[in-house]
Structures are given as C-alpha cells and as structure tokens.
Amino acid sequence: MLFNIPRVLDWFSEVYEANDMTFTFKGPWFSGTDMLFTVDPRNINHMLSSNFPNYPRGPEFKKIFDILGDGIVAADKELWEDLRKSGHALFHHQNFLKLSVSSTTSKLKDDLVPFLDKAAEENIVIDLQDVFQRFMFDTASILMTGYDQMSLSSEIPGYEFGEAADFAEEAIFYRHFKPVILWRLQNLIGVGIERKMRTASEFFNSMFAKIISTRRKEEKSGGKKEQTINAVTYYLNADTAKYKLLKPSNDKFIRDVFFSLLVAGRDTSSSALTWFFWLLSKHPQVMTKIRQEINAKFDPTDLEKLVYLHAALSESMRLYPPLPFNHKSPLKLDVLPSGHKVKAESKIVICIYALGRMRSVWGEDASEFKPERWISENGGLKHEPSSN
C-alpha cells in the first residue's frame, strides 16, 4: 500500500476488483492498521441503512480527525443524532434560508462572475480549483459565522484558511497509513507533516475564538436583532431541552460544530464543482447538451426539470466523490452480507471512489463519463439503490 500512495485511490479500485469487492488488510502487529475494506453494495447498505445503529465511525476515526473535535463530521451515537437534528432544523430555518439565498446570489454576481469575466477578457490562466475553494469558503463563512472573509477578489489575496485546511487534510490523509503511535509522536514533537497540522490547529483556534467571542458579545448586548441567522448564532442559542448534548456555553464545542460545517461546506462543494467542470472540459458534447437543456427549460423555481444537468452532476460525483472514504467500526460482532465476520471495534473502510469504478456494479463502461446512465427510459432521473 505504501508504495502506491501517490495513486492510492486507483490502487484500491484495482484491488477491490480483483478481490470480489471486499478484502482484509493486515499491517504490522504494532501498527494498529488491520482493516476490512469493502465496496460491496450489500455490505454498504447493511452498514449505512439496515443495521446502521451497530456501525458508528468509531474511536479510531475520532483520533485521526481530532482537529474537528466534537463536530458532526467526527461525532457518533447520541451526539451525532443531536447534531444531525439540530443541523436539519438550522438548514430549514426561514432566516437561515434567507441568508443562504442572499449570500450565494451576491457572491456569484459581485465576485465569482466578475472574476471569471476578467480572466476571460484578459486571457489569464487561473486555477479553477482554487477559485471554487475561495468562493465556497466565503459563502460557507457567511452562512456559518455571518462574516464574509473576502478571499475571492480580482487581486486573489492571501488565503490563510485555505493553506491551513490543506495542511490539515494532508496530515489526516497520511494518518490513515501510519501507526497511531508514530503520527502522535510526530505531532507531539512537531516534525514532518504533523508539524503543519499543529500550526493549522493553532490558526483555526485563534480565528474561531475571535469570531465566537464577537458573536457572544453581540448576543449579550441585546442589540438590534438581525433578519437572518448564521450557524454560530444559532448554536449559541441552542435549545438544550430539545438537544440535550449540545453545549451552547462552551466555546470549544461551538468551535467544533461550526468548524466541521465550514470545512464540509468549503471542501465538498468546491471538489464537486472542480471535477464537474474538468469533466465538461474533456467532454464538450456533454457541455453542449447541458446548455441546450438550460436554454430550453431553465426556470429558477423548478430546477428539477434540468434532468440532464442533474445526471451529469451525479455522474461526476460517481467518478470523483468529494469524500472518497467512509469509516465504520461495529459496536458488536456481526456478519456482513458478503459473509465476512467483523469483530466489535474492528476497522472497516468503504472507498466510495472505488465503488464508482466497479464494473460488477456499473458495467464494463464503469470508468467512462456517461450522464445517460442516470436517465431512465421515460426521460426522468434514474434512482440507483445502495444494494443489489
């Protein structure tokens, strides 16, 4: 595995294909890297749906993603449930929806479109991935904190959050392949990529402490109430009678909650957009069909009519999922539908990237970009179940 880290996702795809979609990996006895890897749709449905309560992410996941603390990305069990329900309530809150519409519209009209127009007019080569990350960071920051970080502008200013997030994500990636005792020692003494992780953590803690402190002062001052609501303000006033495990008075908890939401908002959406437009650049015929559909059917109030656009996005995320891995750790002994026995607290890894490339699931053309595979015979979107 170590020799294939530069192409680890494709290597996983090849190994899954050769091992009937499930295999066991055993590392050195001292490393703590023994894992079961599976992309069998039956196993995935079993863990994520039919027997979901028995498959939390587990303590090892929380160790690897320790920078996220108790946010929803790393939380499990009752805390995860409270965060999920409270998050659902936030995302459907009328004042949050107002903020979402206004902030996204303004960032598009005032920043992203003018930036791209200028680049096109002046024939400037740009890194579209960086542009999308900045756009989504600014938008997510408004939704999470109420503040626009203004990282996307014609001058392309310094982007400390992006650099820190990239350092953290790189460290987290390599933690998957190192013995826990090794990367923890590296973090403790500050060497290698773990040194960058420590620096990133310090930056995040400082940045978020200022935001939370400012928002708390505003709440205590009892000034004019805003017509919109952001995530920090929402969780500072969380209903602990309804969500018993939330801690609105704890700054560390508030930091963890909105940090997870901010990272998810920046990374997943920007990754999806980057790969989508890269695929369109490689498949101009798909871009032509999307344009034709938009010109013929576009209605901002009824986006469901854009079936081909939806299919192209689904196909893009099948091949390049924003989150390529998922972790599970059973609470109790279990037998997966594939027949593999899993012990309590063992480590299970689902490689979503590899799942999208399994010929046994998607056919011989699994590696090809074909939006049509998501469109049914009657012209509607086709639902792909999680199990056969």
Question: How many other C-beta atoms lie within 10 A of the C-beta of residue 328?
Answer: 23
pLDDT digits (tens, 9 = 90+) for 290-308: 999 998 877 777 788 899 9
Q: Residue 78: pLDDT above 80?
A: yes
Confidence at residue 32, expressed as pLDDT on a 0 to 100 scale: 66
Mean pLDDT of 245-270: 93
* Residue 245 clears pLDDT 70, i.e. is over it: yes
Closest CA to 312 of 262, 381, 264, 358: 381
The mean per-residue pLDDT over the stretch 70-76 comes to: 90
Instruction: Name the residue with higher pLDDT: 219 or 211.
Output: 211
Query: What are 331-358's pLDDT values in tens digits?
Result: 999 999 999 999 999 999 999 999 999 9
Residue 111, pLDDT above cutoff 70:
yes
Q: How far apart are CA 311 and CA 317, in angstroms?
A: 10
pLDDT tens for 361-375 read 999 999 999 999 999
Looking at residue 22, what is its pLDDT? Answer: 96
> Does 387 score more than 80 pLDDT?
no
Residue 386 in this model has a pLDDT that exceeds 60: no
Above 70 in pLDDT, residue 116?
Answer: yes
pLDDT, average across residues 34-58: 94
Using pLDDT thresholds of 50, 70 and 90, give the confidence band for residue 385. low
Task: Quote the percentage of the chain above a pLDDT of 90.
Answer: 75
Instruction: List helix spans (H) across 72-177.
Output: 77-91, 94-107, 113-121, 128-145, 160-175
Which residues lie below 8 Å from residue 157, measured CB to CB, with a gap of 6+? 150, 151
**pLDDT at 388 (0 to 100):** 46
What domains are there in the chain, each with its CATH number? Answer: 77-269 (1.10.630.10)
Phi-psi region of 260 (alpha: psi -120 to 50; beta: other; left: phi over 0): alpha
Could you give the maximum distance between any two Cα atoms of the chain, in Å?
63
The predicted structure's pLDDT at residue 225? 64
Ramachandran category for residue 104: left, alpha or beta (phi over 0 → left; psi -120 to 50 → alpha): alpha
pLDDT at 184: 93
- In this prediction, residue 134 carries a pLDDT of 93
Q: pLDDT-derived band of residue 289, with 50, 70 and 90 as boundaries?
A: very high
DSSP state, residue 375: B
Measured between alpha carbons, how far is residue 172 from residues 1, 58, 94, 302, 312 in Å?
A: 16, 16, 36, 40, 30
Supply the pLDDT for residue 132: 95
Average pLDDT, the chain: 91
> Are the C-beta atoms of 227 and 99 separated by less than 8 Å?
no
Judge whether 228 and 99 are in contact, CB under 8 Å: yes
Cβ proximity of 367 and 53 under 8 Å: no
Please determine, for residue 157, whether its predicted confidence score (pLDDT) is greater than 70: no
pTM: 0.89
pLDDT of residue 228: 80
What number of CA atoms fall less than 13 Å from residue 155's CA on the CB side? 5
